[in-house]
Structure 1
Amino acid sequence: MRSDESYTTQTCAKCGKRGNRKLSERDIICDCGHQMDRDLNSAVNIMIKFLTSDALSQRPSLKEESFLRKWKGFSTTHSPEICPPANA
């Protein structure tokens, strides 16, 4: 599946608000409180486009709002916990 990358670095991945951000602004800081590296934000926006499309299934696509609720608070400031190996 090909995805249009237009405005993915300027659109907040949490609320969808599109801002006029300069390339020198490396972080997205949105009025909704969402803060993330602009490249990671772009990747999340592309992932949302893919997951909300019907590319993998003939079932109706996920609703974007439902997906974002599951990812509420996702940001680059989150430090993932180190998990032990599955066989431990």
Structure 2
Amino acid sequence: MSPPLVLGCLWVLAAAVTAMLPMRRQMVPGLTLLIVAPVLLVWIGLVHGWLWLAIGLFAFLSMFRNPLLYFLRRALGRPARLPKELEK
């Protein structure tokens, strides 16, 4: 098995563990996964082709849709609400 696929599997396991954490404890590992994912997806795409890149990108966007929408709204200057668990 190729190194990008092994790291991709480890990324998925780390994402599953992160999802099981309480909402307040998900921020740091979640942001780390969010930053690492594009690099890993490009690496998988370079080694295995654009089809696997597209499949991985679809899965990534599905898993991180809410954080990505939050950052998009902030970037466009639109109101973006945090989840109730994170509001103080």
Q: Is TM more than 0.5 here?
A: no
TM-score normalised over the length of structure 1: 0.28
More strand by share: 1
Q: Which has the higher helix share?
A: 2
